[in-house]
């Protein structure tokens, strides 16, 4: 489990290898990841957009930006949590993901919340520092 906290908004990520969707002989590796967003602040916030930087072990970088997550822009009151799962395919057996969510307060203030960097490694293989 990977964890980061920004302005009392906690992001935890748990990645897992999806062997049944991967085909190493064809250079296709797929991971899923579960994200939990917990609002420990005293403000109501809404997740407006996401930014991901995905780097594979060969140094190939892919950046993903877009509104919300999985088609939603959840609103989290103080003490609320929001959980979702998504996935990431790579052409390499190892990589790293990191990014941020843009949040908005009820007053309209926009701020970024860090998503912790997390490693994507095929189980049973030597880990590569990315």
Q: Give pLDDT tens digits for 55-108.
A: 999 999 999 999 999 999 999 999 999 999 999 999 999 999 999 999 999 999
Closest CA to 38 of 29, 47, 30: 47
The reply to whether the predicted model has a pTM over 0.85 is: yes
| CATH architecture of the domain covering 2-118 | Sandwich (2.60)
Count Cα neighbours of 24 within 13 Å in the Cβ-side half-sphere.
9
Confidence at residue 123, expressed as pLDDT on a 0 to 100 scale: 87
130 pLDDT tier (thresholds 50, 70, 90): very low
Q: At 101, list the tokens.
A: 């969510």
In this prediction, residues 22-32 reach a mean pLDDT of 96
Tell me if residue 117 falls in helix, strand or coil: strand
Closest CA to 105 of 47, 44, 48: 44
Backbone angles phi, psi at 26, to 5 degrees: -100, 5
The answer to whether the beta carbons of residues 74 and 38 sit under 8 Å apart is no
Closest CA to 41 of 74, 73, 80: 80
In this prediction, residues 18-34 reach a mean pLDDT of 96
């Amino acid at each position: 489990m990977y964890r980061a906290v920004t302005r009392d908004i906690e992001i935890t990520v748990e990645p897992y290898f999806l062997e049944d969707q991967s085909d190493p002989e064809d250079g296709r590796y797929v991971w899923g990841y579960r994200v939990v967003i917990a609002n420990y602040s005293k403000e109501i916030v809404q997740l407006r957009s996401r930014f991901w930087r995905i780097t594979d072990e060969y140094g190939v970088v892919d950046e993903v930006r877009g509104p919300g997550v999985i088609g939603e822009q959840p609103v989290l009151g103080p003490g609320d949590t929001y959980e979702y799962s998504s996935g990431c395919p790579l052409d390499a057996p190892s990589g790293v993901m990191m990014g941020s969510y843009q949040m908005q307060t009820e007053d309209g203030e926009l701020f970024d919340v860090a998503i912790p960097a997390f490693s994507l490694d095929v189980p049973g293989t030597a880990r590569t520092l990315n």
